[in-house]
Amino acid sequence: AAGVIQSPRHLIKEKRETATLKCYPIPRHDTVYWYQQGPGQDPQFLISFYEKMQSDKGSIPDRFSAQQFSDYHSELNMSSLELGDSALYFCASSLAYEQYFGPGTRLTVT
Amino acid sequence: QQQVKQSPQSLIVQKGGISIINCAYENTAFDYFPWYQQFPGKGPALLIAIRPDVSEKKEGRFTISFNKSAKQFSLHIMDSQPGDSATYFCAASLDAGGTSYGKLTFGQGTILTVHP
């Protein structure tokens, strides 16, 4: 069965640089969620999109923005990166209430 | 404020034993309660989930027990195996309206180790 695809899987950036994370949801899923997971932490909700419209927003810094495109893939844009942004970033997709997670992007900010 | 509280933080079980992880929630509007399994460096994988209209759901070796009045739910792993060693997260969400479901609020996680 098709799963959620995320790219890149690993990303190393320097402070103050910009990063773009991509997410391709499971086909026919209409909702995409982004989560951030720090070391030893539970995933924290950042933002979600339903049918290409932002549906909810969590503790996402103003430096971050995201959108969902016409083909339902989503991109998380992160600017002015800080050391504290180093984490695993997960995308999840759903058609109803079950959310399926991708393999994640490990972002390291040096 | 942690809206979903999970315990224990870590759990060691012998092969063949029963692993039990507990969660308690605050928001009575939550109406969907999934459990996720996560291996190091991997994405959380949906194990089993329950809605509040049932008190128990079983899928293979995994069972969720749900107590709506106590606002608690638990995961039981029967015949635990070394391959079950992972971090387990409980979570909760609610209907966001329309046909979209809302964000997941996670518990703090339980690191399960199953010894051979």
pLDDT tens per residue across span A57-70:
998 999 999 999 99
> HEC states along B59-80?
ECCEEEEEECCCCEEEEEECCC
- Strand order, beta sheet including A64-68: A5-7, A19-24, A74-78, A64-68
Percentage above 70 pLDDT, chain A: 100
pLDDT score for B1: 65
Residues from chain B contacting residue A101 (CB–CB below 8 Å): 36, 43-46
Q: Please, what is the average pLDDT of chain A?
A: 95
Nearest-by-Cβ selection for A42 from B42, B100, B108: B108
pLDDT by 10-residue block (mean), chain B, 116 residues: 91 98 94 96 96 94 96 98 98 73 92 97
Residue A14 contacts B, CB cutoff 8 Å = no
Residue A98 contacts B, CB cutoff 8 Å = yes
Contact across the interface for A31 and B101, Cβ inside 8 Å = yes
Q: How far apart are CA A14 and CA A80, in angstroms?
A: 9
Residue A36 contacts B, CB cutoff 8 Å = no
